[in-house]
């Protein structure tokens, strides 16, 4: 496939390595310079830039009818508009806060555990922690937000917060430590014990491979998709 890499930082470079291994051609690489207004001969675009640039990039890609997968976090206030653009331009769009197979399995496990724990809300205090490298621009991580949303869907918690803690709120703590690719921990603590599930990425390879698999999957499709569709977790 002819792939456009929009954002050529840590993730862009890790993705490029896997694209080449799997026989794809990287026909456009964008870092900093604005996207050309007209895009030609691109099968799929892979967007991993920065929170403040993602929306503008996605608009150009989708208006050019380029099937796009996006891993950039921190731009979701514009998600509805982006989804509409994909639909009106008869193309395909997939956003994932985390492309790794392991985290997507963890999302499922998190929902099952949340459903079980809802009965014991009074006995157990919930805590969500994410740890990332010090260059990360957004907090909490997109993955932590997806985990919190999975808990909210399956319990009587109403929202999440990095500042407040109450019966209705899932507290999220974000830690920044040199060279950590991404760790997420969900804890339920009572007076007598702690139940904990965690996912620890050892490198960026899992995110990058998942992004390439999603790009291969979305080619020639139309609509709005998630990693659940790609990994057939529905
Ligand atoms: N969904 C997932 O599985 C994962 C998501 N992420 C997310 O992906 C994003 C990128 O992460 P990462 O690669 O580590 O970050 P980096 O900062 O390493 O890379 C971002 C790149 O985008 C470039 N850039 C700047 N402006 C633009 C622009 N207008 N258009 C396109 N590119 C631009 C930056 O250039 P310059 O440095 O010169 O400004 C930089 O090279 C983050 O939001 C992160 O949270 C990360 C890992 C996994
Ligand atoms: O910025 C990162 O590095 C990561 N960002 C994503 C997020 O915000 O969840 C995914 C992964 O945890 C690494």
CATH topology of domain 101-200: Dihydrodipicolinate Reductase; domain 2 (3.30.360)
Tell me whether residue 189 is annotated as binding. no
Q: Where are the domains of the chain?
A: 2-99+205-231, 101-200
- Ligand 2 contact via 136 beta carbon (within 6 Å): yes
Residues 161, 173: Cα–Cα separation, whole Å: 9
- Per the confidence metrics, is the pTM higher than 0.95? yes
Q: Measured from the CA of 10, which atom of ligand 2 is nearest?
A: 3
Q: Provide the pLDDT for residue 206.
A: 98
Q: Does domain 2-99+205-231 have CATH number 3.40.50.1820?
A: no
Task: Please report the atom of ligand 2 found closest to the CA of residue 11.
Answer: 3
In angstroms, the Cα distances linking 15 to 115, 142, 158, 191, 204 are 35, 19, 36, 45, 9
Helix (H) or strand (E) holding 2: strand 2-6
Q: Is 202 a catalytic residue?
A: no
Q: Which ipTM was obtained for this model?
A: 0.99
Nearest ligand to the C-alpha atom of residue 10: 1
Helix axes 51-63, 79-88, angle to 10 degrees: 10
Look over the chain and give the mean of its residue pLDDT values, rounded to a whole number: 96
pLDDT 10s digits, 43-80: 999 999 999 999 999 999 999 999 999 999 999 999 99
């Amino acid at each position: 496939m002819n792939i456009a890499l929009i954002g050529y930082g840590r993730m862009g470079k890790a993705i490029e390595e896997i694209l080449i291994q799997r026989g794809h051609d990287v026909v456009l690489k964008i870092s900093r310079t604005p996207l050309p207004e007209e895009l030609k001969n691109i099968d799929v675009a892979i967007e991993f830039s920065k929170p403040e640039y993602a929306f503008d990039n996605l608009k150009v890609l989708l208006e050019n009818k380029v099937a796009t997968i996006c891993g950039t976090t921190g731009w979701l206030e514009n998600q509805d508009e982006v989804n509409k653009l994909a639909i009106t331009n008869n193309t395909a769009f997939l956003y994932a806060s985390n492309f790794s197979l392991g985290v997507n399995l963890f999302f499922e496990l998190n929902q099952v555990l949340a459903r079980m724990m809802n009965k014991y809300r009074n006995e157990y205090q919930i805590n969500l922690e994410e740890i990332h490298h010090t260059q990360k621009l957004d907090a909490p991580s997109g993955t932590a937000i997806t985990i919190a949303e999975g808990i909210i869907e399956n319990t009587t918690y109403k929202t999440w917060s990095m500042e407040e803690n109450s019966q209705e709120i899932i507290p999220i703590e974000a830690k920044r430590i040199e060279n950590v690719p991404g760790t997420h921990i969900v804890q339920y603590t009572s007076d007598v014990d702690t139940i904990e599930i965690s996912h620890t990425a050892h490198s960026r390879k899992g995110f990058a491979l998942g992004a390439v698999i999603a790009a291969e999957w979305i080619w020639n499709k139309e609509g709005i998709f998630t990693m659940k569709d790609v990994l057939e977790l529905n």
